[in-house]
């Protein structure tokens, strides 16, 4: 998008005295120049961007899997919008390779009530890593992976466990996951019904699909343009450092101002530190996702690996309902550009003004032995109440005023595609937050009030 031009009406100036003319000209000279917009629509792409983008919407299909493009994954430039969507599906919340970590998570309400937890997670795959393994390494309707989660915080939940067993899905095989929980009080394993994919977890901002991932063939894809993202997750000015657990070097205190959207190892930052992004729109296919609560998703994908640094969800009326932002890290260097993973994820539900976060601390690629696979990733193993490999974290938030800021709104970007409506009370809290540099909560009369 081009900057707004400054217009000058010469005939009008000629009718004024020289003194008035000079005053006007001096005022114009002193006025700050409008900032160059960071975003461009498809019609405004540069020559280099056009060389990377294929506008074809009827690309040949795969003979075996007709919902896939015919070109072999991970594709070659120029990319169609659909191929960008497939590449983005490489990077779901739970990384597509065997690993272990501790997931520190929490939620905060508009009044400042905070609730947190932590669980040690072990992830195993039934196929080779990556989206390619998910698509072609296991038949549709078969188990794709197994995730074991052992609660370590809060103390009253110690030894509560979950086993998630995701399936490879397609148009005919719709079962997404088997789900088991273990309660130490009951000493029983119970199989749970699969959560509805588009419903938020209780008292949280994110849905089941936000965590487990979406299949790219369930959407129609369109490129909106390009943009530059300078920040994703924002820390408040009350939290200058965070301690993270690096599985190689142990606990490391980091300045929060040093944490970047794509981590320390990303080689493609702009000189100003921004991340160049493709902006793509995904519209749900009614034949594959009937009655799905979310009509449209908009993704900001880094231009080089197609990692989603930001995602927005819109309902069937076109209204923005949730924003997800991520800070990534190269957690599996052996996979090069495919080895980026979510270090921190923040979800903001605008209707209820609640924010959920997840920090994947102490992430370590982990090749499980055949014995470990047969033992750990089963419902029966949970009865042992055995934390097979303890992992520690210091990433819990100690005070509501240290919680992450609500994500930026970017109101001016792609206005024809994005409908952003905040209630007056939420708009006041948001603006007060931006001025204060920390969260602002609702008060008794729902007016903006600084964090306690």
Decide if pLDDT at 449 tops 80. no
Report the C-alpha gap between 360 and 25 in whole angstroms: 56
Decide if pLDDT at 370 tops 70. yes
Share of the chain above pLDDT 70, in %: 90
* Whole-Å CA distances, 230 to 258, 261, 262, 265, 391: 12, 8, 10, 16, 32
pLDDT class of 445 with cuts at 50, 70, 90: low
Q: Is 291 left (phi over 0), alpha (psi -120 to 50) or beta?
A: left
Average of per-residue pLDDT across 187-204: 92
Decide if pLDDT at 15 tops 70. no
Decide if pLDDT at 301 tops 70. yes
Residues 243, 245, 251, 255, CA torsion sign: negative
Decide if pLDDT at 368 tops 70. yes
Could you report the per-residue pLDDT of 344-353, keeping only the tens digit for each? 999 999 999 9
Q: Three-class SS of residue 232? A: coil
Q: Three-class SS of residue 314? A: strand
Report the C-alpha gap between 264 and 113 in whole angstroms: 33
* Least-confidence region, from 33-37, 157-161, 179-183, 259-263: 33-37
Structural fold of domain 40-421: outer membrane lipoprotein receptor (LolB), chain A (2.50.20)
pLDDT score for 402: 97
DSSP-derived secondary structure for 167-190: B---SS----EEEEEEETTTTEEE
**Whether the Cβ atoms of residue 222 and residue 98 lie closer than 8 Å to each other:** no
Average of per-residue pLDDT across 423-438: 96
Enumerate the domain spans of the chain. 40-421, 425-452
Report the C-alpha gap between 197 and 174 in whole angstroms: 11
Global pTM? Answer: 0.90
pLDDT score for 11: 36
Could you report the per-residue pLDDT of 135-166, keeping only the tens digit for each? 999 999 999 999 999 999 999 999 999 999 99
Average of per-residue pLDDT across 356-372: 97
CA neighbours closer than 13 Å in the CB half-sphere of residue 153: 18
Residue with tokens 């990556």: 130
Report the C-alpha gap between 363 and 285 in whole angstroms: 35
Could you report the per-residue pLDDT of 19-78, keeping only the tens digit for each? 333 333 333 344 444 567 899 999 999 999 999 999 998 889 999 899 899 999 999 999
């Amino acid at each position: 998008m081009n900057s707004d031009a400054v217009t000058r009406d010469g005939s009008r100036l000629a009718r004024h005295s020289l003194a008035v003319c000079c005053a006007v000209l001096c005022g114009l000279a002193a006025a700050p120049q409008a900032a160059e917009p960071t975003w461009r629509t498809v019609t405004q792409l540069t020559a280099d961007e056009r060389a990377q983008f294929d506008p074809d919407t009827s690309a040949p299909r795969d003979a075996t899997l007709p919902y896939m493009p015919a070109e072999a994954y991970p594709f070659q430039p120029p990319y169609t919008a659909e191929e960008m969507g497939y590449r983005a599906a490489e990077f779901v919340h739970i990384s597509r390779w065997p690993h272990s970590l501790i997931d520190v998570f929490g939620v905060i309400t508009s009044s400042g009530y905070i609730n947190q937890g932590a669980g040690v997670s072990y992830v195993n795959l039934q196929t080779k890593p990556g989206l390619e393994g998910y698509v072609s390494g296991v038949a549709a309707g078969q188990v794709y992976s197994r995730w074991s989660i052992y609660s370590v915080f809060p103390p009253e939940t110690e030894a509560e466990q979950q086993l998630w067993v995701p399936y490879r899905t397609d148009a005919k095989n719709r079962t997404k996951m088997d789900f088991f929980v273990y309660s130490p009080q009951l000493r029983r394993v119970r199989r749970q019904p699969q959560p509805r994919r588009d419903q938020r977890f209780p008292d949280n901002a994110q849905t089941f699909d936000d965590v487990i991932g979406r299949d790219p063939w369930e959407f129609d894809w369109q490129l909106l343009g390009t943009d530059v993202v300078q920040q994703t997750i924002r820390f408040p000015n009350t939290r200058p450092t965070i301690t993270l657990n690096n599985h190689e070097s142990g606990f490391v205190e980091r300045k929060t101002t040093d944490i970047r959207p794509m981590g320390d190892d990303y080689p493609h930052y702009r000189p100003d530190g921004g991340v160049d992004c493709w902006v793509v729109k995904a519209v749900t296919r009614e034949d594959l996702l009937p009655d799905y609560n979310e009509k449209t998703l908009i993704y900001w994908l880094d231009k080089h690996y197609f990692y989603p640094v930001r995602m927005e969800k819109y309902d069937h009326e076109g209204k923005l309902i949730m924003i997800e932002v991520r800070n990534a890290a190269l957690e599996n260097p052996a996979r090069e550009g495919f080895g980026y993973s979510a270090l921190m994820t923040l979800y903001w539900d605008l209707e209820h003004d609640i924010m959920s976060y997840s920090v994947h601390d102490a992430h370590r690629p982990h090749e499980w032995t055949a014995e470990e696979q047969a033992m750990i990733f089963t419902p029966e193993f949970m009865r042992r109440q055995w934390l097979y490999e303890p992992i520690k974290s210091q990433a819990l938030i100690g005070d509501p005023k240290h919680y992450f800021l609500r994500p930026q709104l970017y109101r001016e970007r792609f206005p024809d595609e994005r409908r952003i409506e905040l209630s007056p009370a939420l708009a006041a809290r948001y603006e007060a937050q931006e001025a204060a540099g920390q969260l602002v909560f609702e008060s008794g009369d729902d007016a903006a009030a600084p964090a306690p």
